[in-house]
Structure 1
Amino acid sequence: MRALILVLSILAIVDSAHVAKAGLSSTPRETLAPADAAIATDEATQETEDQIGLTKAKRREVQHGLTRLGFDTKVNGKFDESTRAVIARWQEEHGYPTTGFLNAAEHKVLMDAATEAAKSDHQDRRRAGSRAPYSRGVGGPIGAIGGAVHNVVGGVAGLFRR
């Protein structure tokens, strides 16, 4: 059985040798130009931003992301003049044309950076020993109930010690 597997493996290698001899293709490839001139120049416009399809919730995510990255903006789901100015500052800092509008590539870079910043913030808080806001420590409702039960049991036990 082993011999059969070995023979088949050798035949497969020999048969595929012609692929290795073929080399790189010299056939020219057809390149497609982007349909939109703004995409070709990578400059973000109202049109490129509309193509992303940002809902109000997605706009809030962008605003949260900008704030997380140190570009403070009002999180209201509207891209008003102040938000456009913040987007332009972010673009300038990252070497993009400062239009105040986003294209798909800029949106992805911005959101990825914001996600990484959030992860980093979370890890920093964990290293510092702080608890998550939903954590229930000794002062939480469970701790209060346990403390009350302890006091009652201790008080009752104290009555029998006398």
Structure 2
Amino acid sequence: MRALILALCILAIVDSAHFAKAGLSSTPRETLAPAETAIATDEATQEAEEQIGLTKAKRRGVQRGLTKLGFKTKVNGKFDESTRAVIARWQEEHGYPTTGFLNAEQHKVLTDAAAEAGKSGHRDRRRAGGRARYSRGVGGPIGAIGGAVHGVVGGVVGGLFRR
């Protein structure tokens, strides 16, 4: 079996040798672009954001969504300078022009991604058993220590009375 594995490894190395001889590629790579080309052409401006009609509650939703996606911001329903900077960082990471304002398409992409991140986080918590449970019984960390101490003390004291 080891000989077979060794033979396969040698064949893989010999087969991949032609890639090393090929050298660097001279073909240009595609640059990162948004998933939809319509998003890139419709630049996000203050007017575009005003057309979305974001209420204070929807602005809070955007701020929560950014936080779920790893872009921590204050959730207060106001798009102040710090929130605009976080939106610009999100735009930059996703290949959009970094204006700090959202258009309708970007708003949809952001809220959909945040909703998906929330679902996956919820699924992970469910798989892990929900909230952290601090057991005071034998199963918990303190219960295990107490159980061990009880076993040692019980064994020593029990041994004294058995004589």
Alignment of 1:57-68 (within 5 A): 57-68=57-68
Question: Which residue number corresponds to residue 83 of structure 1?
Answer: 83
The 1-side partners of 2:75 and 2:68 are apart by 11
Matches within 5 A, 1:126-141: 126-131=126-131
* Counterpart residue type for residue 112 of structure 1: D
Runs of 4+ in 1 over 6 A off after TM superposition: none
Q: Please give the residue correspondences for 1:17-56 in structure 2 after superposition, counting only pairs within 5 Å.
A: 41-56=41-56
Across the two proteins, how many residue pairs are aligned to each other? 98
What is the TM-score normalised by the length of structure 2? 0.56
Cα distance in structure 2, aligned partners of 1:114 and 1:40 = 20
The answer to whether the Cα contact below 8 Å between 2:40 and 2:96 also exists between their aligned partners in 1 is no
Give 3-state SS (helix, strand or coil) of 1:71's partner: coil
Letter in 2 for 1:126: R
Question: Is the alpha carbon distance of 1:128 and 1:47 closer, same or farther for their aligned partners in structure 2, counting shifts above 3 Å?
Answer: same
Shift of 1:42: 1.4
Q: Unpaired segments of 5 or more residues in structure 2?
A: 1-38, 137-163
- Counterpart of 2:108 in structure 1 is 108
Q: What amino acid does structure 2 have at the position aligned with 1:91?
A: Q
TM superposition score normalised by structure 1: 0.56
Match of 2:73 in 1: 73
Distance 2:93 2:101 in 1: 14
Counterparts of 2:101 and 2:123, CA distance in 1: 32
Report deviation, 1:81: 0.2
Match of 1:99?
99
Mapped partners of 1:48, 1:40: distance in 2: 13
Return the offset for 1:46: 0.2
Identity rate of aligned residues, in percent?
Answer: 83
- Residue 40 of structure 1 and its aligned partner are, at CA, apart by 8.6
Q: How much has 1:41 moved relative to structure 2?
A: 2.8
Which ranges of structure 1 fall in alignment gaps of 5 or more residues? Answer: 1-38, 133-137, 140-162
Show CA shifts across 1:73-96 (max 9, x none): 000000000000000000000000
Match of 1:159 in 2: none
Task: Determine whether 1:117 maps to 2:123.
Answer: no
Corresponding residue SS for 1:95: coil
2:102 aligned partner, one-letter code = L
Aligned to 1:143: none
Deviations 1:112-160 (A, max 9, x none): 000000000000000101249xxxxx99xxxxxxxxxxxxxxxxxxxxx
Q: Which amino acid in the other structure matches residue 114 of structure 2?
A: A
- 1:33-89 per-position Cα deviation (integer Å, ceiling 9, x unaligned): xxxxxx893110000000000000000000000000000000000000000000000
